[in-house]
Structure 1
């Protein structure tokens, strides 16, 4: 997994290495990044899938909320507040050394 702002670099590297790719949304930060990603995937002939796992979780509540809004069932929407997950919690995991082959600067 990579943070949202790092999707382009590993996607392009994976495509050049002839690896199939699954990337969560947001795909990229800019249209230019997304275009380079798509062009590289096409050039290298690999499979690329982008997903939105969260939208299919929570028992369909995201889909139901969209349906209610689109159909006007809950009136005119003026403001939307969304909260996903709770506050972060300390996991108290033991410190581990960085693996020798991990490119920490790239990460």
Structure 2
């Protein structure tokens, strides 16, 4: 496992987020590089973040390409994921070291939300195409930064939302009906989401603890505000902390907002 030790303040100063702003970012960007790869080529894949969701999307990518590099600041998660590939991929604890490899074509990002923007930008600047789990960003400003980097680098960036590709194409069919004009030309959408499904202790105060030895808590926090460790901040429940996500709106509401905007033709 490549060493992940670094100084938090220095890391933030050397990040790739200082980029010029541009127009609001769309759902998917493509670029000139989309035409440079043959459909018969088997791409080399590097993945960042292989917790439960990150592992799921990365395994799908591994079925289509060559999984050659795995990065996670949780050593146990990285080793567990690598086991599905007979331990052949190289393991990293710092994604920036992984991005220095010239043989990686595509980077999969399945980390907690607060890391998405920085990792997307760094990967595209390193010459990689990117697939990022939703939400692409936590703020609108981050979306503007990413769009500018897409334009500057010519990279391909795709954002994954399940309802566009799964569930027996029900959502695709609903969108097709809405956009066909069969429902009229003055459509309106109302989107709502259920309360957040918090797991474990809902109320707090949450007991503080030392991070487990296999987790680099400093790196896990990354660009977020520095906080003491509690198990309630990681795993499923990272979604309900403002430092890392936007709650149920960005976790589940993003799916429904995406479909509504798609159906209305304003995505």
TM-score normalised by structure 1 residue count: 0.57
Q: 1:69 to 1:103 in 2, by over 3 A?
A: same
Name the SS of the counterpart of 2:131 in structure 1: strand
Name the SS of the counterpart of 1:36 in structure 2: helix
The correspondence for 1:34, drawn from 136, 143, 147, is 143
Q: Which runs of 5+ in 2 are unaligned?
A: 1-109, 200-211, 224-267
Q: 1:80 to 1:30 in 2, by over 3 A?
A: closer
The correspondence for 1:8, drawn from 107, 117, 120, is 117
Q: How does 1:73-88 map to 2 (within 5 A)?
A: none
Query: For residues 58 and 82 of structure 1, what CA distance do their matches in structure 2 show?
Result: 18
Aligned length: 96
Q: 1:16 to 1:79 in 2, by over 3 A?
A: closer
Name the SS of the counterpart of 2:221 in structure 1: coil
Deviation at 1:68, TM superposition (A): 5.4
Deviation at 1:48, TM superposition (A): 1.9
- Contact 2:115–2:222 (Cα < 8 Å) also in 1: no
Tell me whether 1:97 sits opposite 2:207 in the alignment. no
Displacement over 4 Å in runs of 4+: 67-70, 76-83
RMSD: 3.6
Deviation at 1:30, TM superposition (A): 3.0
- Contact 1:24–1:53 (Cα < 8 Å) also in 2: no
What per-residue deviation string (whole Å, max 9, x for no partner) do you get for residues 10-69 of structure 1? 111212222211123332233321111121233234322233333220101222344555
- Contact 1:23–1:49 (Cα < 8 Å) also in 2: yes
Q: Which runs of 5+ in 1 are unaligned?
A: 90-94
